[in-house]
Amino acid sequence: MAQSNFIDYVKIFCSSGKGGPGSAHFHRSKKDPRGGPDGGDGGKGGHIIMRGDPGKWTLLHLKYTKHLLAESGTNGSGNRKTGADGKDLYINVPLGTVAKDAETGAFLGEIKEAGEELILLKGGRGGLGNDHFKSPTNQAPKYAQPGEDSVESWIILELKVLADVGLVGFPNAGKSTLLSVVSAAKPEIADYPFTTLVPNLGVVPYFNEQSFVMADIPGIIEGAHEGKGLGTRFLRHIERNSILLFLIPADSEDPVAEYKTLYRELELYNPDLLLKERLISISKADIIEEKEMKKIKAKFKKANLDIIFFSSVSGDGLPELKKHLWQLMN
């Protein structure tokens, strides 16, 4: 699917169903021409429900469906018959979708599992029929309750990609190349910044037919936590990864400073990200000499940081890299 079809943010207008009004009916028959009240209750309005669908990986299907309306309940009727309930409206979304109130920004909930449901807006309750209001002092009530009104709201849906390993690095750090080598994913690769504009997922095979999911997150730039370079849209995808794999290219002018800048951007965006397991790797190791590798390793050791070298081109270090990631996950 084309990258332009990856939609991870939509704003939709939702309206739950209105409750049906109760009936103010009186029983009438040849045998009983002046029967008592027998009005039934109105049916309840339909809910707006968000539901996890593992078959979806984007919010594209909601991009052009801006208004979602649940059915209203129908009127109650005589003989104490309750009106039909309005049908609930289900919004199927990918796992990792977060819902927020568009006006207040309030967090409404998140879908993490297949089939998990979250009621975004409750339908109105049906009104009570006049049968409920009869009493010794009021044996013929001529009134019934109206149904509750529907609830309307603009809601923002944001998708946070679910993966075991998230690749963190500046543009051109080699993230897409790594994903293309260790998995069957085919992200766009080119020698210029921001080749990757949307997250790419790949399944990385391991021993005994086991595997894990790796996500190539679009490159971070300094100031990403403030939204620079669409930074906040990129950073939110990192929140749903179990392990963070930092990629620092071997030809970086100052590898330690580059790592610290990435670390700082994550900290400023969401300090909880730093509670995740993380591994620092030096990519493009094939373009430097052994002597230079030792210098880089010494710099990180001085900063009390362990690193692992690898090359997506030559394949050197990839088995060790996958082994380290697997150990962190298990």
Altogether, the residues listed in the chain come to a count of: 330
Distance CA 309, CA 317 (A): 6
pLDDT of residue 10: 92
pLDDT of residue 186: 64
pLDDT of residue 96: 86
Whether residues 127 and 190 share a domain: the answer is no
Nearest residue to 284 (alpha-carbon basis) of 326, 325, 255, 304? 255
- Predicted TM-score (pTM) of this structure: 0.67
Confidence of residue 217 (pLDDT cuts 50, 70, 90): confident
CATH of the domain at 126: 2.70.210.12
Checking if the pLDDT of 228 tops 50, the result is: no
| 135 secondary structure, DSSP code | B
Residue 253: is it exposed, middle or buried by C-beta count within 10 angstroms (0-12/13-18/19+)?
exposed
Confidence of residue 219 (pLDDT cuts 50, 70, 90): low
Distance CA 155, CA 105 (A): 9
Helix (H, G, I), strand (E, B) or coil at 329: helix
Whether residues 217 and 125 share a domain: the answer is no
Whether residues 144 and 197 share a domain: the answer is no
Nearest residue to 224 (alpha-carbon basis) of 183, 267, 271, 253? 267
Task: Give the domain-ending residue among 142, 159, 176.
Answer: 159
Checking if the pLDDT of 43 tops 70, the result is: yes
Q: Please state the rounded mean pLDDT for residues 44-48.
A: 98
DSSP annotation string for 209-240: G-EEEEEEPPPP-TTGGGTGGGHHHHHHHHTT
Distance CA 50, CA 46 (A): 13
pLDDT of residue 229: 42
Q: Do 149 and 85 meet the contact criterion of CB atoms below 8 Å apart?
A: no
Task: Give the domain-ending residue among 140, 159, 178.
Answer: 159
Whether residues 191 and 227 share a domain: the answer is yes
Checking if the pLDDT of 154 tops 80, the result is: yes
| 278 secondary structure, DSSP code | E
pLDDT tens string 251-306: 999 999 999 998 988 888 888 888 889 999 999 999 999 999 999 999 999 999 99
Task: Give the domain-ending residue among 100, 125, 159.
Answer: 159
CATH of the domain at 258: 3.40.50.300
pLDDT of residue 84: 97
**Position 187, amino acid:** P
pLDDT tens string 104-137: 999 999 998 999 999 999 999 999 999 999 998 8
Radius of gyration of the chain (CA): 29
Q: Are strands 277-283 and 307-309 parallel, antiparallel or unpaired?
A: parallel
Whether residues 151 and 272 share a domain: the answer is no
Domain count for the chain, please give it: 2
pLDDT of residue 192: 44
Domain hosting 127: range is 1-159
Distance CA 126, CA 45 (A): 7
